Amino acid sequence: MTQEPHHSEPQKEDRDMKIPLITTINGQRQEVAVNPSQTLLEFLRDDVKLKGTVEGCSVGVCGSCTVLIDGKPVSSCLTLASNIEDKQVTTIEGLSQNGDLDAVQQAFLKHQAFQCGFCTTGMIMAVKGLLNAQPHPSEEQTRDYLSGNLCRCGTYKEVLAAVAELTIK
């Protein structure tokens, strides 16, 4: 009796399989193809060449890879790229319009709400998501909403000042 060999690696056809989908990235409707196991982070950085979204922890606890899907912040390191079918994806590159920085980006610059910059794009996207959901959050609501975004340099006070300014407008 002969046994068929056990394959521990997926067949080449499985690795090369792509899922076609239509999505909108930074306001541009696109027909794309993604690998079934590819994260949104990998897709954005490797396939679409949008390098502003950065990988931090790869397990969804640091917030550095935050992007918006339909206006809500998500960890792109935990989101499968195949889940963006018929969705609006916004990355840090999509916030500025016609060369003008978004109000959140302007407030971060004004209040120097960054230091090394590693968490900055994720923090800006989370603040944008917060203001989409709650245009006038209290400081407590802001702290709670941003609790999933870590900053090793400790710029939280400046981030809170930037958000406070934005809630006044």
Q: What is the residue extent of each domain of the chain?
A: 17-94, 103-168
The answer to whether 123 and 159 have CB atoms below 8 angstroms apart is yes
pLDDT reading at 54 higher than 60? yes
pLDDT digits over 112-139, tens only?
998 888 899 999 999 999 999 999 999 9
pLDDT reading at 92 higher than 70? yes
Residue type, 169: K
Which fold, 17-94?
Ubiquitin-like (UB roll) (3.10.20)
Instruction: Tell me whether domains 17-94 and 103-168 share a fold.
Output: no
Confidence of residue 15 (pLDDT cuts 50, 70, 90): low
The answer to whether 126 and 63 have CB atoms below 8 angstroms apart is yes
CATH superfamily of 103-168: [2Fe-2S]-binding domain (1.10.150.120)
The Cα diameter of the chain in Å comes to 78
In angstroms, the CA 41 to CA 112 distance is 26
What are the b/e assignments for 91-124, b being 16+ CB within 10 Å? bbbbbeeeeeebbbbebbeebebbeeebbbbbbb
Beta carbons within 10 angstroms of residue 86's beta carbon: 9
pLDDT reading at 100 higher than 60? yes
pTM: 0.87
